Structure 1
Amino acid sequence: MTTTAPRPTAKQRKIDAKLAAVRAEAAVTARRQRNRRIAGIVGLLVVVALVSYGLLSSRQQASAEERIAPDFTLPTTEGASVTLSDLRGGPVVLFFNEGAGCAACTVQMAEIEKEPGFEEAGITVLPIVMNTAEQILPDMQRYGATTPFLLDDGTVTDAYGVLGTGMHEGLPGHGFVLVDAEGVQRWQGEYPSMWLEPGKLLEEVTSRL
């Protein structure tokens, strides 16, 4: 003899429907929370990857490869011109930088001017930018840099292999090139941090002369 289960009442059906709705909502909430956790983990991994890449790509790069430094003649912000070979007899540091709009670049030169060791060692520091005088002069006045800046159209920057070494493809980064008294390039250093303490720069170049 078989028995038939009692059919649920209308009230029971309503209760069952509510329970089903609650379970479905709970499942959706759980999926959303799980997706958010996954997205958070993925986001964290992306941040870690970007930070790691930034740290790796911002490391100082230096080269002691020697060669005859490419000669050049460039106009200055004072309306004169400077020829590298005319400075033979004393070491020269070329400071390639982003120029106008880069406060750190102009401040770097202003702080180098305050380090008496360069003059005492007979070292000439030449800042080189890919700007016009009208573009760079306001920054020089604002940040107190008085050394005439050399104005390049990109030819010299490219000849020294520093074009596109910074954050902007068509500009130099923040780097220095040491040319000795005989016109030989002794050292080149790139500083993506956009700063090198002038005393450290002086130590770097004098140790190679």
Structure 2
Amino acid sequence: MTTRLAVGDSAPDFTLPTADGGTITLSELRGQHVVVYFFPAAMTPGCSTQACDFRDSLSALQGSGYSVVGVSPDPVSALAEFTARDGLTFPLASDLDRSVLTQWGAYGEKKLYGKVVTGVIRSTVVLDPSGTVELAQYNVKATGHVAKLRRDLGIA
């Protein structure tokens, strides 16, 4: 069983390459709320739906003090293509070796079409300004997840 983050845990720091050719370091985002979401693969139907929902909700999230970061095991080139294709306006980070996904409990055994497989567990973790987990959701659905997250966070 994969170890998952829970409310009150300190989020493991990371530095990952991003779709825009730079890097993102989680600890540099201290002082603000951060939504870190983990997705299996760029440009697939479910991941596109979820990313576009985050894109479309970004102004409401940012208006309430939240930043959004997406993380997947895709190479930077695929994330750059995804960002350009769907007009994504928040950072997407590449975790090729799945080390961050694993540390955060977003990689491991899951059920896919009734079979147990090992892969990315679609997950969202919300951090408070000190980097402490304030909400952790695993095995979320791509469709409707961002709307539910906004409700859970009290963001209209």
TM-score, structure 1 as length reference: 0.62
Deviations 1:58-114 (A, max 9, x none): xxxx98532111111111011111111111111101110102352221321222121
Write out aligned runs for 1:1-209 (5 A).
64-115=6-57, 116-152=59-95, 153-164=97-108, 166=110, 167=112, 169-206=117-154
Equivalent in the alignment of 1:9 = none
- RMSD between aligned residues: 2.4
Report how many aligned residue pairs link the two structures.
146
The higher-RCO structure (CA 8 Å, 6+ apart) is 2
Q: Is the 8 A contact 1:100 1:136 kept in 2?
A: yes
Equivalent in the alignment of 1:30 = none
- Where does the alignment leave 5 or more consecutive residues of structure 2 unmatched? none
TM-score, structure 2 as length reference: 0.80
Deviations 1:116-140 (A, max 9, x none): 2201111011000101122233333
Q: Indicate how the Cα distance of structure 1 residues 64 and 205 shifts in structure 2: closer, same or farther if over 3 A, else same.
A: farther
Calculate percent identity across the aligned residue pairs: 26
Residue type of the alignment partner of 1:163: Y
Q: Indicate how the Cα distance of structure 1 residues 197 and 86 shifts in structure 2: closer, same or farther if over 3 A, else same.
A: same
Q: Indicate how the Cα distance of structure 1 residues 90 and 165 shifts in structure 2: closer, same or farther if over 3 A, else same.
A: farther
- Where does the alignment leave 5 or more consecutive residues of structure 1 unmatched? 1-61
> Whose strand proportion is higher, 1 or 2?
2
Residue type of the alignment partner of 2:125: V
Residue type of the alignment partner of 1:195: T
